[in-house]
């Protein structure tokens, strides 16, 4: 769901008639028009063509699926860039010059070799979407907590075990994906108040913080494939949750207060040691929801 929304966001920016996407720098320079969009996807590049610096009106650049080991300096000369995709390369670090891309709104650097995120990313104060999936990050990047404009953060498939306590400073955050990491303790983490989607599946979480149940705007919650054995009665606070996935945990029952989740339409309980009589009780508590078990 989150990835689809991100793609829609990018498509909304690219009108193929008004802003044709070029795949060759020479052709772009010879076009005789202002070039706004370029894609070098799957070109086998080890370096970016130096001539790209002349295309100083670019707002969309796709470098996905190449052999880049670093972010070439030519990228940072493109001051109008709003969308930058460098997924599926071999990039090990984000250079300080990232701060020069002041207009950047969407930054995707999935499937690379990052072990940390440069603090200068915090200077991207127009950034709305950042994808850092499938890297080698071990902590939640502190720089992200300083970008209040962020609406979507994807950190799936890293080795994150610690989440910054300042995450609630990301005031506009709606989508947060921390699935497939190594999180076992959420402590008393305060989640951003505008959070709508939260994905925490495939971690080692055993206890949910009471603070989570105060997420009034949360609509989609995925906690599957963790070590959760008990759900607090405070779950009743999740008044706007529409879909909740608790599959493959250690749950034997759910609190009766779940009946107060009036907007719940989908509840997934497959892979839990819940007896049939208990499942029937849960279904009766949620007459308006589809319960999968």
233-245 pLDDT per residue, tens: 999 999 999 999 9
pLDDT given at position 14? 63
pLDDT given at position 1? 39
pLDDT given at position 5? 41
pTM of the model: 0.93
Tell me what the mean pLDDT of segment 52-63 comes to: 97
Tell me what the mean pLDDT of segment 197-221 comes to: 97
CATH dotted code for 1-129:
3.80.10.10
The answer to which of 8-17, 164-173, 194-203 has the lowest mean pLDDT is 8-17
Place of tokens 């989570």: 212
Tell me what the mean pLDDT of segment 131-157 comes to: 97
115-137 pLDDT per residue, tens: 999 999 999 999 999 999 999 99
Domain boundaries, the chain: 1-129
């Amino acid at each position: 769901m989150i990835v689809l929304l991100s793609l829609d966001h990018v498509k909304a920016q690219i009108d193929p008639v008004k802003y044709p996407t070029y795949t060759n720098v020479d052709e772009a320079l010879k076009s005789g028009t202002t070039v706004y969009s370029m894609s070098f996807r799957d070109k086998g590049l080890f370096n970016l063509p130096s001539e790209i610096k002349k295309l100083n009106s670019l707002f969309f650049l796709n470098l996905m699926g190449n052999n880049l080991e670093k972010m070439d300096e030519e990228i940072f000369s493109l001051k109008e860039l709003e969308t930058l995709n460098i997924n599926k390369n071999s990039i090990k670090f984000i250079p300080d010059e990232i701060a020069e891309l002041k207009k950047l709104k969407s930054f995707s650097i999935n499937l690379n070799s990052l072990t940390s995120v440069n603090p200068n990313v915090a200077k991207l104060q127009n950034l709305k979407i950042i994808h850092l999936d499938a890297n080698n990050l071990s902590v939640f990047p502190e720089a992200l907590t300083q970008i209040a404009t962020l609406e979507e953060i994807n950190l799936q498939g890293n080795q994150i075990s610690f989440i910054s306590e300042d995450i609630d400073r990301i005031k506009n955050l709606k989508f947060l994906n921390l699935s497939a990491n190594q999180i076992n303790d959420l402590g008393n983490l305060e989640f951003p108040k505008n959070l709508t989607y939260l994905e925490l599946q495939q971690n080692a979480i055993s206890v949910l913080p009471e603070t989570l149940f105060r997420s009034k705007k949360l609509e989609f919650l995925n906690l599957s494939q963790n070590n959760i054995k008990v759900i607090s009665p405070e779950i009743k606070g999740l008044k706007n949750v529409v879909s909740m996935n608790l599959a493959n945990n250690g749950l034997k029952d759910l609190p009766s207060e779940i009946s107060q989740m009036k907007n719940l339409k989908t509840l997934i309980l497959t892979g839990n040691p819940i007896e049939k009589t208990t499942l029937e009780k849960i279904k009766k508590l949620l007459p308006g929801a589809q319960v999968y078990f």
